[in-house]
Structure 1
Amino acid sequence: MNEENIQNNTPQASRNELLAFVWETIKVIVISLAIILPIRYYLVQPFFVKGASMEPNFEDGDYLLVDEISYRFSEPSRGDVVIFRYPEDQSQFFVKRIIGLPGETIEVKNNKVIIYNSQSSGGLELQEDYLSSEQETLGNMLIRLDGSEYFVLGDNRLASSDSRRWGPVNKSLITGKAFLRAWPFTKFDKIKGAVY
């Protein structure tokens, strides 16, 4: 009996236990990376809101999760909150709300956004209940979107650099749709697009 205990405590046995532990640790890391990396790079991306352009709905420092796969199988919808590469500097990412869809004509006039499309040839004035009552949609413009362009605006219209300033966003620049606010925990919630 004592001989067995002595044999199990040999340097060879300790080395084998250490190697088994290292091997198990490596397997756990590799399996974790095999699961996490595809999710992070192809399905879900984190995004920190910077600035006040989406207040009061999204504030500076909010942590959002972005669905990167849905727009590969479907088109963005009016009211979706999207993350995209800034058209004038594609190393920067912006968050805005989709207002105009491909093929539509968008008019901004007298603090109103009017959509002209095949269903509303006379124009449909957007009722934007998600905006605070103090908001004004400044500008005077009429723009026709081509087959892959979207007109985006910040919810804080007075403090937003958006399509009124630098034009429409091409679909190829849209990273994905914000679907969950993960931080702050007091505002943890699923993000729903606006209904018009």
Structure 2
Amino acid sequence: MLWLLRLRQRFCVTGNSMFPLLKAGDDILVDTKAYHHSFPEIGDLVIAWHPQKENLRIIKRVVKVDEKGNCFLMGENSLESSDSRSFGLISSQQIIGKVTSKFP
């Protein structure tokens, strides 16, 4: 219902970095306004712009937030998440929104 009312944006998962929680082909809903007035919290699942690859969106879990709101993101799949460790902290401004649900 929230998607139909345009209160959530729909995304399709394309990689395996969040496996087994999410797998390629899964559709998710994202609240793009979730962080307009607050920083992400540890444990949040987010969509963000990749800090090194223009126009690439990534799905990761927030594992650290510093006092300035910069976030360290990491995937669930330890075999596929090496890129998360290579780019370190990202600005919360690079986060597009918070994943709120997955389509069955």
State TM-score, norm by structure 2: 0.88
The ranges of structure 1 where at least 4 consecutive aligned residues each deviate by more than 6 angstroms after the TM superposition are none
Percent same amino acid at aligned positions?
36
One of 16, 26, 31 as aligned partner of 1:52: 16
Work out whether residues 81 and 96 of structure 1, in 8 Å CA contact, stay in contact via their aligned partners in 2.
yes
Provide Cα deviations, 1:108-133, integer angstroms capped at 9, x if missing partner. Answer: xxxxxxxxxxxxxxxxxxxxxxxxxx
Equivalence for 1:180: 101
Q: Would you say 1:151 and 2:49 are equivalent positions?
A: no
Q: Which amino acid aligns with 1:178?
A: V
Considering only CA atoms, is the larger Rg found in Structure 1 or Structure 2?
A: 1
Q: Would you say 1:84 and 2:48 are equivalent positions?
A: yes
Work out whether residues 49 and 56 of structure 2, in 8 Å CA contact, stay in contact via their aligned partners in 1.
yes
Equivalence for 1:62: 26
Work out whether residues 75 and 84 of structure 2, in 8 Å CA contact, stay in contact via their aligned partners in 1.
no
State TM-score, norm by structure 1: 0.48
Which of the two has greater helix per residue?
A: 1
Work out whether residues 163 and 169 of structure 1, in 8 Å CA contact, stay in contact via their aligned partners in 2.
no
Please give the residue correspondences for 1:103-114 in structure 2 after superposition, counting only pairs within 5 Å: 103=67
Q: CA deviation at 1:177?
A: 0.3
Work out whether residues 39 and 69 of structure 2, in 8 Å CA contact, stay in contact via their aligned partners in 1.
no
One of 163, 167, 180 as aligned partner of 2:88: 167
Bigger RCO (CA 8 Å, 6+ sep): 2
- For residues 98 and 53 of structure 1, the distance between their equivalents in structure 2, rounded to whole angstroms, comes to 13
Q: CA deviation at 1:63?
A: 0.2
Work out whether residues 152 and 162 of structure 1, in 8 Å CA contact, stay in contact via their aligned partners in 2.
no
Equivalence for 2:39: 75
Equivalence for 1:8: none
In structure 2, the gaps of 5 or more residues are none
Provide Cα deviations, 1:68-88, integer angstroms capped at 9, x if missing partner. Answer: 112112221100000000011
